Amino acid sequence: MKGFIPHLLVILLCLFCQSLFCEAQAQAQAQAQAKISLPNEWWKVPSWSPDHKRVAVYSPGPEKVRCGERNGVVFWGYKYPEAEHTKIINCSDYSVIAEIDGVFASEWSPDGTRLAAVHGGFEHPRILSVFDSATGKVLKTLELKDHSSIAWSPQSDKILITAGKRVLIFDVLKGDVKEVAVPNSSKSEWFSEVWSSDGKYFCCVEWQRTIELDRSVVTIWNSDTLEIVSQITFPKCRSSGGRWSPKGDFFVCEGENKLHLMDVLAKKEIFALHSRSKYMKYHWTTDGKKLLYDDYDVIRVFDPATLKEELSIKGPANGFFDFSISPDNRFILIGDREILTICSLETSGFLGYAEFPGCEKAEWNPNGGGLVLQMRDEPPKFVALESPIKHDAFLNGKSGSPGWENNCRPRTLEECFASFDKELSAAQVAKFKNSKEDHLGIYGGGHIITDSMMCDVYSKWGMEALNRYFAAVNVTDPCEIDGIVLDSYWRHLNHKPLVIDQKIRANQAWRDQFRSSVPKSVVLPEAVLNYEIATSTDKNMSIRMLPGKIKLIVLYANGQPVDCFALRALKSVSEKFSLKDLSCILLLVDSKFLKFDDNGNDRSDKTHSDINALVSELSARLPTAKISRDYWKMLSAATEYPERQILILAENNTIIGSVHHAFSEDDMVKAIEGFIVPALRSEKN
């Protein structure tokens, strides 16, 4: 017994020394990883192979070029290579294993033997290509007609494809393709293709857009029989589709501010998780034991076994953040713009944060030990973390929480003003006060901000209460709210009266330009109605002379794909109604007359030829004409819209609606018929 005790002490001492050595080795490895410099030709976040031993990288990256300067601000852009290029790289030493020309192939098969990519389009055929990940050689190709996205089956033998209005299954071993039968009611495009974890089922979502609302239908098929197993309809929202849990026991579907936990085979809902977020983000842990989702400014951790919430973690007040779960299911990475923080998934405690200027996206390194950052103006970066993560996760970061809980949550304009006064320096307030009112757009209120001074304040606000404040006056667009707040603060500083009602009316008129359909009640001037135009029918024609209970005036230019959509929509609509009910005229507008000159934006020779072919076909039964600048000025002034559009007139020549050029033929047909059908129905009544 006496000899045993010293022997035990020796063993314990060895174990203690070994633990110290392992911890020191882990810290040294983390510090070494922090110094890793990725090759300059890498771009975007690398795509890891399933075994995490290789990455497919976009290479070479684009060249940064100066695009111009405005108000002292330099604008930069990127000149991309004529053809994309993929390099498959060994993660251990960054040696190049294989290269793929002409495409960025980033979709790994689950077994890691192949890569897939969809490339081409516009002037070139759209192609799905499958490559050997060891050699980069092309194994199989499939030509597609429409914009497409793909998903590998778990067995790596098939690819699910959504291609416009079609759903396809491509057998990568045989090279065969099968078209999946979609519901007879399906008329729109399919998206969000997903397989179940065992490969027995797959699902896609269809957005059935109408003038009034977006309707979504999630459809699930049996992968062997290709028969429909279940359908989930969301009548008033655009669902992003669904995903199976890692175990396959739940199907989670997002829609209408809820996450629906479904039993697909039983065709019933098990539970619904409510959220204040319009578009929800959610992730499963890899073991399927926890489901994390965002509830505006909170991340909630849900246990599907007990159907109860386990934890909640406070996120940024503005609700605009991304989050992801670490590979070991122990931590959560939360990103708000350029600030990253890590939380414990066991305690919900914050484990430090750091700021990374230029960071656009952050992911966990699947090999462990840190993060990978996609940067705005440079190649991606590796960021080492404390190993193991205990209190301060970032080696050069700060402790605790980023302080999101202290961000302003204004309820009124006065509280917005107080936040600006508090956060801005005296010099910044003076700069904003001395700006011209019609130049305030550089600070926000639109889609391009060239001076972030004000945005750095209001982008941190929690907007729930303020959104309700503006919803009471029928203002719901976030950009419009920002614009009104900025204009009101400028007027407040300059002791001018607030003109919110006037601002709302101006914004509505501007927004109507971009709606696919706008109800109107406009009586055209006599000069416009009686103006005679030489048409393809060898006789002059005026709008007043057009027969029919409803009249369509189609204003188009020659060169843009949207003009093709408009002409195809006209062809479809004109074939559905009799001449007694509907008459049409095509009016060609010179691009130079338009508010935005399209001469420099022509897409292709194919677009021109498609438009000419459509006009030639339509002119055989419909009058067509090229209008003068004078008539264009009169017509656009009367409609208050200096762009091409389709005008719908009642029999008394009153404009009852206008359809602006949308981005699909179906959208335009629905918009046009949305005015014609009710008008004809009221005529009969």
Asked whether the predicted pLDDT for residue 604 surpasses 50, the reply is yes
Is 597 exposed, middle or buried, given 0-12, 13-18 or 19+ CB atoms closer than 10 A? exposed
- Tell the CATH topology of 517-684: Glutaredoxin (3.40.30)
- CA 241, distance to chain mean position in Å, is 14
Collapsing DSSP to helix, strand or coil, 394 comes out as strand
Of 339, 331, 435, the closest CA to residue 391 belongs to 331
- pLDDT of amino acid 274: 94
Q: How far is CA 668 from CA 164, 390, 673, in A?
A: 16, 57, 8
* Percentage of residues in the chain having pLDDT higher than 70: 87
- pLDDT of amino acid 198: 94
- pLDDT of amino acid 173: 94
**For residue 373, how many C-alpha atoms fall within 13 Å in the half-sphere facing its CB?**
27
- pLDDT of amino acid 597: 45
- pLDDT of amino acid 210: 56
- pLDDT of amino acid 382: 86
Asked whether the predicted pLDDT for residue 502 surpasses 90, the reply is no
User: Over the stretch 113-166, which tens digit does the pLDDT of each residue have?
Assistant: 999 998 887 667 889 999 999 999 999 999 987 778 999 999 999 999 998 889
Q: What is the DSSP letter of 561?
A: H
Asked whether the predicted pLDDT for residue 185 surpasses 80, the reply is no
Question: What single string gives the DSSP state of each residue in 418-447?
Answer: HHHHHHS-HHHHHHHHTS-GGGGGGGSSSS
pLDDT class for 350, splitting at 50, 70, 90? Answer: very high
Which helix (H) or strand (E) covers residue 33, if one does?
Answer: helix 4-34
C-alpha to C-alpha distance for 140 and 58, rounded to whole angstroms: 21
pTM over 0.95: no
The residue ranges of every structural domain in the chain are 408-512, 517-684
- pLDDT of amino acid 40: 59
User: Over the stretch 539-597, which tens digit does the pLDDT of each residue have?
Assistant: 899 999 999 899 999 998 877 777 888 898 899 999 889 888 999 999 999 888 875 54
